[in-house]
Amino acid sequence: AIHSQQQQQQQQQLHRGNDSTGEAKSLLSESFSSTPTNQAVTHEHYDWTMGLDHTIWSHSTDSLLVRYATERAVSKVKDKKMTSLHPSDLFDEEEGATGDCDSSPSPSKEEVLLLSKQASTYELSVRSQSQSLLPALTPSSAAQSPLWGGDVGEQGGDEAVGGGKKLSDFSRAGLRARFCVIRALNEVTRHALPLVDLTRYEDQHDTAHALALSKGRLAQNLKEDLFRRSLELTRDHSEVPEVTANRGTLTADKRKADKTVFHQLFKCLGDLSKHSLRAVDKRGSGRQSWVMTFEGEGGSDYGGLFRDSVREVCCELQCCPSSLRLLVPCPNQRMGLGANQDRWVPNPALRSRKHMRMFRFLGSLMGASVRTGSAMELDLASFVWKSLVGENCTIGDLEAVDEQFGQEIAMLRTASASSEQWNALGTTWRIRGVSGRRVSLRAGPGDSAAPVAYQEREGYIAAYIAYRLGECAVPIAAIREGFFEVVPKLVLPLLTWRELESRVCGNAMIDTQALRSITEHNLPGKEKHPLAVKFWSVVEGFTNDDRAALLAFAWGRRRLPPGNKGGMHLKLEILHGRGDEALPEAHTCFFAIDIPNYSTEEVLRQKLLYAIHNCRCIDNDFVARGVALHHGEEALLEER
């Protein structure tokens, strides 16, 4: 428990100088203790601040509370232009929650205010959080946040929140009080974090281990400074390599493996002893890890071609059929069952040395995307991200992308009640893996097609689950190795799997208001110009896939980086001298789009949709590099 007297002692000790390192670590360790160090502030029954590992407030509930509060904070500051928020601003009466999940009476308003004052040194800094925590939401969407009703579990792979409880089950006063405790923890952690050796996070007796276990309770802006500095200190200041590739005229799903952009990049950059992807070059509208040239296509790389190559790689990895086969569709996608049918998993069947090098290179590309802010459109299963950050995977993670597996396990457990039911199943030692291929659970000699005896049922179920949990461990380990060759491993203990996914992949959902907020209208009258009005009316009616295609057309990538890191701005301009027959033009290096002043909104919609979904290659503004164009290719480019 953290109270005002204890906080004052901590502040005095932390400000006495560097000789207080041991004391600061001790205080931080006490903050994680589930045993209260002081009595409750006012009433004997009031135990809202008694330790972080409270029976009511599990880590998953606290993590959800932090995510929800952050989402609300971003919404509030956009709606009311506020610069700091108190718990009463985040959990107000409009939520309508009067839950009674907690076993003790809700704290009074006075008690919440007292806690708020005790934690006042850690006011929620919205100015920084809104740029680095979660995707910004509009006020209306934040008020209806699915986080309020429980854990979103985008991939369904999270543990039950607080034993199945939802935030709406708790009283508002209780949420405010608990949030004050978490704020106080963040304040202590902010001072003590520089004194903790995070490389010792695997030692269960070290403070770093306690920090790693409670990383979901820590605000992301608390980790942001450490993350940013670690990237800067480990940056390679040598020149970035130059890469030339030919993507030809075939789509990603029809290219041979050695003709893919991924394989061509792998040949040029796969040996990191020669080319370090820790080097970053800032040019044009962003940062890049290599300078890209596409044979047969005009254009100089000021960021646009680099981002285009990253997008091509993601398309090649996640297309079906794929000649690379590094990633395979998850079972739900393959069988058309359940949720998360857009997810992919590493192919466990690829075990050769070359394939391990390719997985390692994929991890390096993911690390480069973090350094440059160029989001990779990788829709990986939750258990992949959890494995990368060292979190334990659960059956729930597998069920999220393989509904049939969950049904099989449930059926096996039901049938294990009697030998008759078990024998009726006809279960054998051959099982179906994540990629769909059949494998044997029998390591030694024996017929894998033989039925599993009733006496072996418990061992069989345990072996089945263990195999599926570790099935992709080898390729994931290679991806992880490559990732940490580019991004320092020091940041690993404090990142949750969602935070890592966000840093690598950006935001899959593109909010129109968020896109509009980063747009520069280089038009007379700015966004009130008739062209701008028609443009945003059209974009509002787009699907998320259309908006992603618009980003790819104008910028060379399909996702916005989290918090718009890098300060990118879409530039909207009029394409003069063109009529309704002309198509929009894009300058991906500078995140700019030129649109003719179309006569109607419908014409703009048709032309824009055609351009964003059909114009893939760089236009032939000047003599193409590397190869001569054939007559048909010239005609295609001229038509565009």
Q: How far apart are CA 415 and CA 422, in angstroms?
A: 5
Q: Which residue has the higher pLDDT, 436 or 34?
A: 436
Indicate the burial class of 282 (C-beta count within 10 angstroms; 0-12, 13-18, 19 or more): exposed
**For position 143, what pLDDT does the model report?**
37
469-495 average pLDDT score: 91
Task: State the pLDDT at residue 164.
Answer: 53
More confident residue, 261 or 181: 261
Note if 617 is an active site residue: no
Residues 230-256 pLDDT 10s: 888 889 888 888 888 888 767 766 778
Name, of 31-40, 128-137, 515-524, 622-631, the range with top average pLDDT. 515-524
Rounded mean pLDDT, 608-633: 55
* pLDDT value at residue 478: 96
Q: Give the pLDDT score at 275.
A: 63
Q: Which of 180, 589, 615, 617 is catalytic?
A: 589
Regarding predicted confidence, which is higher, 53 or 535? Answer: 535
- What does the pLDDT look like over 378-417, one tens digit per residue? 999 999 999 999 888 999 999 999 999 999 999 999 998 8
User: 256 CB contacts (<8 Å, ≥6 apart)?
Assistant: 323
**Residue, of 581 and 39, whose pLDDT is higher:** 581
Per-residue pLDDT reduced to its tens digit, 54-94: 666 777 778 888 877 777 666 655 554 444 455 555 555 44
Per-residue pLDDT reduced to its tens digit, 316-372: 999 877 788 999 999 998 888 887 888 999 999 999 999 999 999 999 999 999 999
pLDDT at 198: 86
Which helix (H) or strand (E) is 627 found in, with range?
none
| Mean pLDDT of the 175-199 span | 83
- Pairwise pLDDT comparison (165 vs 301), residue with the higher score: 301
Q: Is the pLDDT of residue 27 over 50?
A: no
Statement: residue 122 has pLDDT above 60: no
- Tens-place pLDDT, residues 406-448: 999 999 999 988 888 998 888 898 999 998 888 888 876 666 6
Backbone φ and ψ of 89, nearest 5°: -75, -25
CATH of 242-390+473-505, one of 3.30.365.10, 3.40.640.10, 3.90.1750.10, 2.40.30.20: 3.90.1750.10
Identity of the highest mean pLDDT range in 185-199, 241-255, 401-415, 562-576: 401-415
- For range 161-180, the mean pLDDT: 69
Residue 21: the pLDDT is 43
pLDDT at 145: 47
Closest CA to 352 of 326, 322, 386, 323: 326
Q: In one letter, which amino acid is 295?
A: E
**What's the CATH code, domain 512-639?**
3.30.2410.10
Find out whether 335 and 268 touch, Cβ atoms under 8 Å.
no
Average pLDDT over residues 602-617: 85
Q: How far apart are CA 282 and CA 299, in angstroms?
A: 17
The dihedral through the CA atoms of 43, 48, 49, 53 has a sign that is: positive
Among 452, 465, 448, CA closest to 421: 452
Query: Which amino acid appears at position 122 of this protein?
Result: Y
pLDDT bucket at 511, cuts 50 / 70 / 90: confident
